[in-house]
Structure 1
Amino acid sequence: MPTAWPDCTSIILTMKLTAIFLIAAFIQVSAKSFSQQVTIRQKNISIEKVLQLIEDQSSYHFLFKINDLSSSRNVSLELTNASVEQVLDQCFKNTPFTYKIINRTILVKKAMDLTGLGINNSLVLQKIQGIVTDEKGIPLPGVTIKVKGTTTGTVTDVNGKFLLEIPDANSTLIISFVGFTSQEVSTRGQDILTIHLREAPKDLSEVVVVGYGTEKKVNLTGAVNTVNMEDLGSRPLTSSSAALQGQVPGVYALQASGKAGGDGATINIRGVGTLNNSDPLVLIDGLPGSMDDVNPADIQSFSVLKDAASSAIYGSRAANGVIIVTTKRGSNKKVKLSYDTYWGVQDPTALPKTMNSVQYATLYNEAAINTGQQAKYSASDIAKYANGSDILYPNTNYLKVFYNKANMQNHHLNLSGGTDNLNYAFMLGYLDQDGILVGNTYNRYTFRSNLDAYFLKDNRLKLSANIFGSRGTTQTSSNEWQAKWYANNAPIWPLKNAAGEYVAVNGENNYYGEIMAGSLSTNLKSQINTIFGANYRILNGLTAELSYGYSWTQNHGKSFNPNFTTAKLGGGYNVNVANLTDQNAQDSQTQLTALLRYVKNFKKHNINLLAGYSQEEFDSNWVSAYRSGFVNNTQQEIALGDASTQTNNSSASALGLESYFGRLGYSYADKYLFEANVRRDGSSRFAKGKQWGAFPSFSAGWRLGQEDFMKGVSWISNLKIRGSWGKLGNQNINSRYAASQVLSSGQNYSLGGTLAPGVAVTSLANANTTWETTTQTNIGIDASLFNNFTITADYFWKYTDNILLQVPIPITMGAYAPPYQNVGKVKNQGIEFMASYKKVFDNQMKLNVTMNISHITNKVTDLYGTSPIINGVKALVEGSAVNAFYGYKVAGLYQISDFTWQNNSDPGITPAGRQYVLKPGVVSVDNYSALPGDLKFADLNGDGKVTMDKDRTVIGKQFPDIAYSAQVNLAWKGFDFTLFLQGVQGINGYQSLEIFEEFSGFSNTGIWWLNRWTPDHTNTNIPRLTLDDARRTIASSYYMENASYLRVKSIELGYTLPAKLLQRMKIGNFRIYGNVQNAFTFTKFKGYDPEQPVGETRAEAYPQTRIFTIGANVNF
């Protein structure tokens, strides 16, 4: 049978050899990087020219007085691969000059002035000194100070002080420092200066990741949001997709489950733009994948591309938006080792409130009588339930049997650093998580290596390697759905009998006992992702890039149901025979990308060109085998089962995508911005002649804040308006072969009494299927005010047409699945707003507040005349939201006054004995004999009768009108506090069966049914009790729940130990913290959690979890 890494010997061998060669090259480069080498072989050149050649070949810069060097004699040098020090010693030999190296700055002086040599120029007439601080008076070391119009300059020392000799008393100094706004200061009449630098707004210098590159945030013309993982605090995120929840306006992330190993979020960007797969494109360091395939601790940032202008460069896969995941990389800094860990306890955020045994039995009897049956539980039975001493008459809360507190722990190591020629980051992760549902566990190991090496003159060649591997094991009971189902058991069912045997619930099974006996489903997910890239600078401004990515994923699953016996309450036993299903799925993907970039700046013009080619291939294979009749519960190998019971199945598919794309970016004076993108994709999903599509976009921006007429408005540091239009494609439909005839196996036929195997066409193909297309327009504004307040607002229109639907076909065409046709249309439009405020107070307390809100409407505009298309309690209806809830609208309850009966005035006839007849004019329901206390449905067409074909309508929707969040960060003297709120408004959940319907199967019933209608209690909206499925299973607004909520998503308090204390321990940073995830939820929803799965209509949702964690972040 397949192992953890099956059939991948050649893959692993190739990776090993590649790694060996790369490491060898990196070591060679690293050895050279600690002493930068230059080559100068020229005769009779000026010293100034020598210094220029050194700057060209190294990362050093020179400060000197031009007048000093202009009169110096020329030199001749013959040096190859010499250190900078060797070159300078040879250059200044027998000259009056000397030098001093300060970090990456080299100061050149005349030797006769060495007494004043420090970090200033001494051959001037006047000295100026001073100190540079931030707005709060804290000294800033390393600030660059230059005399305007000269190369004379210096940097501040560790105390923020400087000393500089200037050419004359009326000089102007330029003071600059990373992260602060540069200033010009006059020295007229001054010899001591105190300079306060103002912190630059983050958005003025922030660089964000966009399609195939990066861009300054201030120059963006599209709708792009960036989420830095460090801004999220230390939340116990086990899935990366959950990190986006509440972080970006216009992004709806639904975390529908708290399952260990399955708590990822479903993400929609700017509504639902298709009736097929609406997932956004996710790129992890450039390679398509799933967000939950990457360890959250490995991530540096997310970039969310929301509009057509930012997404069009990805063409046919970008119609639902793009999420670019950038993982952590090394930098040219000393080695840093980081260790992050947390330990936590989980419990359900909420469990439905249900009845105890006495309530259940009492109300069941009432429902039986209302249905014309005899009471099931006698007064003696109910007394035994109340007493609780008889094991066969229990009061068991099965929700608490199946759901319990669960532990978890997480560990992550990151070793990073670099030199001038080699940057590296190595990450290891381990997660061990027990699920709150009995039998559920998950553990995951991850490894990531990101390497960047620089070669040749001026580091013009860059080689990079990203290698990621993971292995995760998810365990649940083999019948997880039944386990969640049986968690709703009525309390009257005993778990065991007096003999200690598990009791069959309702005469069927006991899934809790089966789990204890060894019911187990295990899925081992193994993954390898590799990306190798080369970047070569051909000329100044012209670079070529080539990358190759490969990903391989295997899911090997085993589901074992054990030999298990349950005792029946009336005598006898149920015997389950052991069976095993063994499945193996493998998916692989390759991606080849070639890019050519050109950047040119001249005068006030900036041009940025990109041309690219991409080729991708996807392959999927799946095989499954089944056998039963295992002798015992320990021999869980497929070959040990009864061969006569075996079945097997398999499938295989392939997909290809070829693309050409380009981008033109232009700006004038950093004020007027323009960008155009185009991509042409060819997909194997479509038939010949329909495979190719072109997807263009255009965008422009105007930075009003840079205009001269805004210079006097000091409280506005940045103001920009932008607009975009573009067309995107979607080829991510539900079938890879919608345009081709597909043969399906298992189509057996009886010939002469013998069943013969066969294959057949079971669905019709349509060779005319082609791309779904999405056209989007966006208008936005970005502003930075008062140097600490930023806002971003966007308004968008998004139209999708040619949506692929399986339109019903006449029955005369045969029992085929209908073909896909490009017939549907959907519209989304909305507004998004985001604001942030930062403040540092006089007592050094730091405050950072961010909030965002979005309002999006979604509507199906065309279904080719087939509206509504009904699927259970949902439907596609023209003029309504995608997959809206569909059914009857409740208009109240029938009351006794709505009926007549024989001897209507005879008080001796009890309500139970009456023969009710609806009064004339009271609306009746088709196929539904209404009685007092039953649900009354609205007669929408006014014909006096409620019918399925005329009176059903949209009764709710599964996507919110409004999504919002807010986060507050406080830091003071080592303490930090984070509060994160997230919520949605205007969303529904449909709750039926188990708990929500009265006495559904053998399930418990919600405690709200105590407030049901009775002849003595008519002032309620809860109908009478009944066991009649025809009445209680009708889809209607009665089962609609308000799923709006406000959640305290995270509360965190941390403390960082003082630096002086850590210096003695040789620790760079040590922080401890406590966190509560999903601390409180404010909602009217009566189910498990308002974030139930989209489409879930029952009580088998896996509850969300509240997580209490303590953790530590340590840097060495």
Structure 2
Amino acid sequence: MKHIQKRFILFALFAVVPFLMNAQTQAGNETDTIIITDDPLVQVPFRKVAQSDILGGVSVIDLEELTKKNYNTYSLDNMQGYIGGFTGNALWGMGDYLVLVDGIPREANNVLPTEIDQITFLKSAAAVVLYGSRAAKGAILISTKRGKNTPLEINVRANTGFHVSKSNPSYLGSAQYMTLFNEARVNDGQSPLYSDEEIYHYTSGSNPYRYPNVDFYSSDYLKSYYNRTDVSTEILGGNERAKFYTNIGYYRQGDVFDFGEAADNFTDRLNIRGNIDLKLNDFIRAYINTNASFYNSRSANATDSDPDDDNNPFDDDNDPDNYWTYAARMRPNRVSPLIPLSFIDPNDQQSWNLVNGSENLIGGQYFLGGTQVDQTNVFADYYAGGYSKWTSRQFQFDTGLDFDLRGIAEGLKFHTQFAVDYATSYSTSYNNYYAVYEPSWYNYNGTDVIAGITKYNNDEKSGKQNVVGSTSNQTIAFSGYFTYAKTINANHNLNAMLIASGYQITNSGQYHRTSSANAGLQLGYNYKKKYYADFSASVIHSAKLPEGNRQALSPTVSLGWKISEEDFMANSSVFDELSLNVSGSILNSDLDIENFYMYEATYTQSNGAWWGWYDGASERSTNSLRGGNEELDFVKRKEISATLMASLWEKLLTINTSYFINSTEGLLIEPSTIFPSYFFTYWPDASFIPYINYNNDKRVGFDFNVNVNKQVGEVDLTLGVSGIYYTTEATQRDENYEYDYQYREGLAIDGLWGLESAGLFQSAEEVASSPEQKFGGTVKPGDIKYVDQNGDDVIDDKDQVYLGRAGWSGAPLTLGVNFTAKYKGFTFFALGTGNYGAYAMKDDAYHWVYGDRKYSEVVLDRWTEETKATATYPRLTTENGSNNFRSSDFWMYKTDRFNIAKVQITYDLPQSLIQNSLFENISTYVSGANLLTISKEKDILELEFDSAPQTRFFNIGLKATF
């Protein structure tokens, strides 16, 4: 508690510092660009350099400028719409990129766009090498805003908007479900479960409490929209000796639920960020950065109604069910959540005594329905089960000193940074128990009446607050490095860095810390800013490897040629700037080494067999589970890349494009074909096979960013197009298949594999004359027919083939388009993103309907004798459907899509209207996000059936500068 108090005092000081300082100088000029196209300083590893001196594989976004015309609530929102090489979840298709906020590994979602100055995307191996192993798949550097040499400036921004649901799943009602479930039973040779009379009552809807037809997505339970509101205040300024920046923000967001405790669900966040830059003297500068974030999330409690339900695809037998898991599996005719008291026979005193004793009469008119099987359900949970509150606190602190050592050597400097971050979270809850009541119905003179009630469980409210799920995380980071910059004879420009850096992240519940330690060296030279050469390398360390292999050197070499500086380009009327850069790199990394001690042999007795060596006694065998490998080594990223950058016709057109070939080599596997077969036995279950470096992956592609800037009369127009196209290939695999088409080597590493379908069986004769399909169950007309790939007259797993790319780290082609038009005080901005070339499987519970699963609308296109000519869905079954519901192209679909991701209209009030007021500037704006998906498969791409619905977000905002 003492430490927390100190932090609050520190943050309070940041809030008042601006009012205690005397800042006199004028503000600098601002640019109006998304991709930085002048020649400002860009944050790269451990330093800032002019953009014109960057040697490729790097993209940067001026987020402070972008936010003026495109207000967002997430720091990396749709970044693929502005820069090439980013798929939305990976850089150059690599995955697992490192995020650094002000040089420290932190979460991107804990810094909001209003707090950010600039975001740098380091894509090439040469660009990330100085960060060591943990950045081997790319890095994103987020630089927060800092104070300026300006008078005191206060910016206030307020927004409010509404999330509007796009679509909801379409499940069949009770009568349809019961009718089709009867059909499924008949298909399986069983008798119908529901009588025609029962189905009639459910169809009529005359008494939905006796014959329930529960729609989880109706307006009785869900809102069609909910609010998000935020406000933030920035206070900044300073002078030559001290600059400050403070950001205080708060947002609160509601939820889609509209009943019970869930109607009060919310998420909120309060953040306080501050920094100070100090010039202590002509040789020493210092800075302090701090941030505190307070998250809270309130939600209604839910219980696990069926912990042993192995057929539930969402139930992991541990966690409580939430509303969406219930909605995806609970059949509509199963139970009525609420039943009116008015149905109880006035003379049934016993029933009245039971319900009047309930503490959970909803609105004084309804009691909680249930059955002996359904003694809990999500509706009763949300009405009577209490609520929980998740709390998270994040405190971040870093400080640094910069020493100018020109007294030792001109151009020599030393920099150091130290950071300590703490994050804690826990959940508190009030867990109530409740009774549900099963009514006994009868019909009296044509009216349904309840003439008896069975009670299950009891109402209990302990009033005790429970604390669970406590976590505590800590990050400690340190770096110290020398920089050297020197110009000799005005033509020879030298720069160098010698770096030692590392960090350690401790997560509660995890024995081993996440660690990174490396030493780095960078040597750069350019002649007349025309010819560039750079050598960068890092020495890394990893405790995941055996002692002899825990260090490795990662070298990179980059060459650059600024062609536009050549004499033959001096009079060009086309090119303003033209440069070409190439680099070659070998990065060593332990990112793909999942666990510690994978190099060690493992033995156990827990799975050993019992052996009786002599009468009256027996012993358990000691078995080897894995062999050891003292030669286990780092995974290597070997890469060659080239970048072309150009500016044409006085910056009418700017181009930045990169081509890359990288090979990830030495991925760890336990091989099945390299070692003799006697290294492994099935009983007793034993193996002497070790992990080895073997699998290799290859990625080849290019990214691009093209911007067009044009003024037409009084209108300023900007169009940006960005994207990445890449291929993947498994260049080496440990495999031994019987048939060539089964080999993964040579095909995409993100490939989907499955059976090739040949439609649906139309008759018993067709089933009998086709190859035997050996996946369990009896194959009948209406089942999926598969192609016999090897001609052995049997359909089994040997007939699986490559079907297409899944795009795990992004679709093969990712596109982004942004457009800006400015006229006087108005700014129109639009953003679109697209993904093309990937596939996915409809292998979820919404589309794979079998057994007693809930029926969705997809089954309406099922195969029957009457619909066999047009059916697009297999016959219904109450069995496990092991023949139909397996990976095959029958269930594949293209994920190609283009999204209208954002449209915003901003109006800056004329100075003539506010010149005599307190305000320096006022801007208002309206916007819409996630507005439209253009795709052949739009319905499924916008559908969520096991989580909250996707939403469009409509916002109105105001920003004022004092």
TM-score, normalised via structure 1 length? 0.71
Q: How far does the alpha carbon of each residue in 1:816-869 deviate from its partner, in whole angstroms, 9 at most, with x for none? A: 998654332211111212111112222x2111111112111123333333789x
More deviation, 346-355/1004-1013:
1004-1013
Q: What residue in structure 2 maps to residue 773 of structure 1?
A: 636
- Compared CA separation, residues 250 and 1091, structure 1 to 2 (3 A): farther
Q: What is the rounded CA distance, in whole Å, between the counterparts of 2:805 and 2:195 in structure 1?
A: 41
Instruction: Encode CA deviations 1:16-53: one digit per residue, 9 max, x unaligned.
Output: 58997x9999999x66x869xxxxxxxxxxxxxxxxxx
| Matched position secondary structure for 2:405 | strand
Identical positions, percent: 22
CA contact (8 A) 1:867 1:878 kept: no
Deviation at 1:706, TM superposition (A): 1.5
Distance in 1 between residues matched to 2:649 and 2:232, nearest whole Å:
39
How many Å apart are 1:814 and its aligned residue?
4.4
Kept in 1: contact 2:706–2:720 (CA 8 A)? yes
**Does the alignment pair 1:735 with 2:592?**
no
- The reply to whether residue 783 of structure 1 matches residue 608 of structure 2 is no
Residue in structure 1 matched with residue 920 of structure 2 by the alignment: 1068
Match of 1:306 among 96, 107, 123: 123
Query: What's 2:571 paired with?
Result: 712
* Corresponding residue of 1:542: 412
Q: Tell me, yes or no, if structure 1 residue 1115 matches structure 2 residue 961.
A: yes
Q: Compared with structure 1, are the counterparts of its residues 206 and 1013 closer, same or farther at alpha carbon in structure 2 (3 Å cutoff)?
A: farther
Q: CA deviation at 1:353?
A: 3.3
Tell me the equivalent position of 1:528: 395
8 Å CA contact retained: 1:800, 1:825: yes
Unaligned stretches of 5+ residues in structure 2: 303-319, 342-365, 441-452, 611-621, 673-679
Counterpart code for 1:1009: L
Question: Against the structure 1 CA distance between its residues 926 and 202, is the aligned structure 2 distance closer, same or farther, given a 3 Å change threshold?
Answer: closer
Does the alignment pair 1:1048 with 2:900? Answer: yes
Distance 1:501 1:23, change over 3 A: closer
Of the structure 1 ranges 726-735 and 710-719, higher mean CA displacement relative to structure 2 is found in 726-735
Tell whether the 8 Å contact from 1:1041 to 1:1086 is kept in structure 2 after alignment.
no
Query: Which of these residues, 37, 44, 48, is aligned with residue 214 of structure 1?
Result: 48
CA offset at residue 892 of structure 1?
0.8
Question: Would the alpha carbon gap of residues 216 and 17 (structure 1) be closer, same or farther in structure 2, given more than 3 Å must change?
Answer: closer
Match of 1:327 in 2: 144
Considering only CA atoms, is the larger Rg found in Structure 1 or Structure 2?
1
Shift of the alpha carbon at 1:1045? 1.5
Counterpart-to-counterpart distance in 1, 2:523 and 2:152:
39
Q: Residues 179 and 200 of structure 1 are in contact (CA less than 8 Å); yes or no, is this contact kept in structure 2?
A: no
Q: Does 1:722 align with 2:581?
A: yes
Work out the number of aligned pairs and report it: 863
The one of 796, 812, 823 equivalent to 2:694 is: 823
| C-alpha contact (below 8 Å) 1:449/1:467 kept by paired residues | yes
1:247 maps to 2:82: yes
Q: Distance in 2 between the 1:934 and 1:202 partners?
A: 58
The CA deviation at 1:936 is 0.6
State the secondary structure of the residue aligned to 1:368: helix
- Distance in 1, Cα, partners of 2:436 & 2:891: 35
1:418-473 residue CA offsets vs partner (Å, 9 max, x unmatched): 111111100111111123367453111111111101122xx332110011111112
CA contact (8 A) 2:18 2:236 kept: no
Instruction: Please report the RMSD computed on the Cα atoms of aligned residues, expressed in angstroms.
Output: 3.7
Is it true that 1:419 corresponds to 2:263 in the alignment? no
Deviations 1:271-305 (A, max 9, x none): 13xxxxx4101110011111112223211111000
Q: Judging changes above 3 Å, is the alpha-carbon distance between structure 1 residues 559 and 26 closer, same or farther for their aligned structure 2 residues?
A: closer
Query: Of 402, 406, 413, which residue of structure 1 is paired with 2:226?
Result: 406
- Tell me by how many angstroms 1:981 deviates: 0.8
User: Is this contact kept in 2: 1:762–1:815, CA < 8 A?
Assistant: yes
Residues 918 and 616 (structure 1), Cα distance of their counterparts in 2 relative to 1, 3 Å cut? closer
Within a 5 Å distance, the mapping from 1:439-454 to structure 2 comes to 439=262, 440-454=265-279
Please give the secondary structure, in 1, of the residue aligned with 2:150. Answer: coil
Contact 1:350 1:1089 in 2 (8 A): no
CA contact (8 A) 2:762 2:868 kept: no
How far does residue 764 in structure 1 lie from its aligned partner after superposition?
7.4
1:1079 to 931, 938, 960: 931
Q: SS where residue 689 of structure 1 aligns? A: helix
Contact 1:552 1:588 in 2 (8 A): yes
- Matched with 1:671 is 530
Label 1:519 to 1:1010 Cα distance change in 2 as closer, same or farther (>3 A): farther
| Correspondence 1:129-168 to 2 at 5 A | none
The partner residue of 2:252 within 427, 432, 443 is 432
How much does 1:535 deviate? 0.6
Q: Contact conserved, 2:836 with 2:897, CA < 8 A, in 1?
A: yes
Please report how far the alpha carbon of residue 763 of structure 1 lies from its aligned counterpart in structure 2 after TM superposition: 7.9
Shift of 1:783: 0.9
1:964 is aligned to 2:823: no
Tell me, yes or no, if the aligned pair for 1:408 and 1:433 is still in contact at 8 Å.
yes
- Do structure 1's residue 585 and structure 2's residue 471 form an aligned pair? yes
Shift of 1:613: 0.9
Amino acid at match of 1:793: T
Letter in 2 for 1:224: V
Report matched runs for 1:412-811 at 5 Å: 412-436=232-256, 439=262, 440-456=265-281, 459-479=282-302, 481-488=321-328, 489-493=330-334, 494-499=336-341, 500-504=366-370, 507-508=373-374, 509-518=376-385, 520-539=387-406, 540-558=410-428, 562-568=432-438, 572=454, 575=457, 582-602=468-488, 603-622=490-509, 651-732=510-591, 733-739=593-599, 767-787=630-650, 788-805=652-669, 810-811=681-682
For residues 1114 and 204 of structure 1, do their structure 2 counterparts lie closer, same or farther at Cα, with a shift above 3 Å needed? closer
Deviation at 1:606, TM superposition (A): 0.9
Structure 1 stretch 802-811 or stretch 391-400: which is displaced more?
Answer: 802-811
Task: Pick closer, same or farther for the CA change 1:372–1:1113 going to 2, 3 Å.
Answer: same
1:929 maps to which of 778, 782, 806: 778
Q: Secondary structure at the match of 2:90?
A: strand
Q: Are 1:522 and 1:557, in contact at CA under 8 Å, matched by a contact in 2?
A: yes
Q: Is the 8 A contact 1:852 1:966 kept in 2?
A: yes
Residue among 159, 164, 167 paired with 1:342: 159
- Summarize the Cα distance change of 1:284–1:505 in structure 2 as closer, same or farther, 3 Å threshold: farther
SS of 2:136's equivalent?
coil
Structure 1 contact 994–1000 (Cα < 8 Å) conserved? no
Taking the aligned partners of 1:745 and 1:234, their CA distance within structure 2 comes to: 64
Is 1:939 matched up with 2:788?
Answer: yes
* SS, match of residue 912 in structure 2: helix
Work out whether residues 269 and 295 of structure 2, in 8 Å CA contact, stay in contact via their aligned partners in 1: yes
| Deviation of 1:769 (Å) | 3.4
User: TM-score if structure 2 supplies the norm length?
Assistant: 0.82
Give CA deviations for 1:192-217 in whole Å, capped at 9, x if unaligned: xxxxxxx9996242332111112222
Structure 1 residues 806, 515: CA separation in 2 closer, same or farther (over 3 Å shift)?
farther
CA distance in 2, matches of 1:1061, 1:746: 80
Q: In structure 1, what is the Cα distance between the partners aligned to 2:558 and 2:481? A: 22
Structure 1 residues 504-513 or 934-943, which shifts more? Answer: 504-513
Letter in 1 for 2:473: D
Could you tell me which runs of 5 or more consecutive residues in structure 1 were left unpaired when the two chains were aligned: 1-7, 36-102, 105-141, 143-176, 181-198, 254-266, 273-277, 623-650, 751-758, 869-874, 901-916, 1093-1098
Counterpart residue type for residue 414 of structure 2:
A
Q: Is the 8 A contact 2:493 2:525 kept in 1?
A: yes
Task: Tell me: CA distance 1:605–1:339, structure 2 relative to 1, closer, same or farther (3 Å).
Answer: same
Q: Secondary structure at the match of 1:1026?
A: coil
Instruction: Using the TM superposition, give the Cα deviation of residue 789 of structure 1 relative to its aligned residue in structure 2, in angstroms.
Output: 1.0
Shift of 1:798: 1.3
Q: CA deviation at 1:337?
A: 0.5
Letter in 2 for 1:889: E
Q: How many angstroms apart in 2 are the aligned matches of 1:583 and 1:200? A: 42
